[in-house]
Amino acid sequence: MSLEDIRKQIDLVDGKLIQLLQQRMEQAILSKRFKKQVEDTGREQAILETIRENAQPLADGDFLVALYQQIFQQSKALQSKPLKTIAFQGEHGAYSEVAAKSWNPDFICLPCVEFADIFEGVRTGLYDYGIVPVENTLGGLVSQANDLMIRTQLNICGAIEIPINHCLVACPGTDVHEIRDVFSHPQALAQCRGFLSKNNLKAVHYFDTAGAAKMLSEKNLTNSAAICSALAAKIYRLDIMKESIEDYEINRTRFLILSKEANKETGNKCSIVFSTAHKSGTLFNVLEKFAKARLNLTRIESIPNEKGTYAFFLDFIGRREDEKVKNVLASLATATEQFRVLGFYEEMKL
């Protein structure tokens, strides 16, 4: 082992320490939701006593206590700020986080394992907002997120559509000619099939694009690569070997921003969800109302609801105070079943 090898190991440990500190600060921000006050000296003292008891020879008690006192100070500083949180599915660096940062760079992005965790967290007030992908120009509907939208009482307060630019990333020092396996989510691998085939690279399925980048970094795999966002490469200290390796430039994903409270802004778009009686002409009657009012529909999707029935998601261009919008929505209350306005909101496109 050389000095260079040792320094590489130090860099890996440093990367993990930064990620762990980030996770601790995220939990500190969340804990504020359950605390009446920021200061909790009893809790701090208990942690410091535990640290002293478990101190190691190379990291003695005095050093660790001093370090943790700095961590406490930073945690309390964050808890004292009026920070807003937005939850996304996946590991840090996921495209959902890219979209969330584009929608509002001041929000604190918090990762969730499942889409259901986002919906539940926003419903209970653990998170201020949630962001979920609902459709991709190549992959179509994101079925799980859309299914949850049917059952939720959350509101849509915003939307953003972003281009999906896939990067081939690898650990620092990796020789691009030595790469054999490429890890990523099956959908990302499929969207880069031409690039992988042209370069004789083997696609290896992984649960998440950012998760693949994180795994690559933690294991320091020097004969493998991952497909992920540029943000994930930055977070996990990976080199970008090549950018925009997707086969089609039209690869875009639309995300919805969810909140517990209804959005009070006028907005330029509206989303509704409804079901109709199971008989001929009922859906046509609904769509005809929009046509007669000359309201432009931008999306209509059918999602299986209960056995033998469907729910319909419909987006249209319109503002809350527009009289023809008010009239159409009022008429839908009697022409549909289980009708609900999900929200008026502004939509961004990057």
Residues carrying an active site annotation: 253, 255
Across 115-140, b (16+ Cβ under 10 Å) vs e yields bbbbbbbbeeebbbbbbbbbbbeebe
Question: How far is residue 193's CA from residue 187's CA, in Å, rounded to a whole number?
Answer: 10
Residue 257, both tokens? 């921003």
Across 162-188, b (16+ Cβ under 10 Å) vs e yields bbbebbbbbbeebeeeebeebbbbeeb
**Residue 133 — φ and ψ, nearest 5°?**
-80, 140
Q: Cα dihedral angle (170, 173, 178, 180), rounded to 10 degrees?
A: -20
Query: In one letter, which amino acid is 128?
Result: D
203: left (phi over 0), alpha (psi -120 to 50) or beta: beta
From residue 140, how far is each of 43, 136, 209 by CA, in Å?
48, 5, 18
Question: Helices 115-124 and 143-151, interaxial angle, to 10°?
Answer: 30
Cβ(119)–Cβ(152) under 8 Å? yes
Question: How far is residue 157's CA from residue 86's CA, in Å, rounded to a whole number?
Answer: 12
**Count of C-beta atoms within a 10 Å radius of residue 34:** 7
Length of the chain equals: 350
Residue 2, both tokens? 């050389």
Pairing of strands 85-89, 129-136: parallel
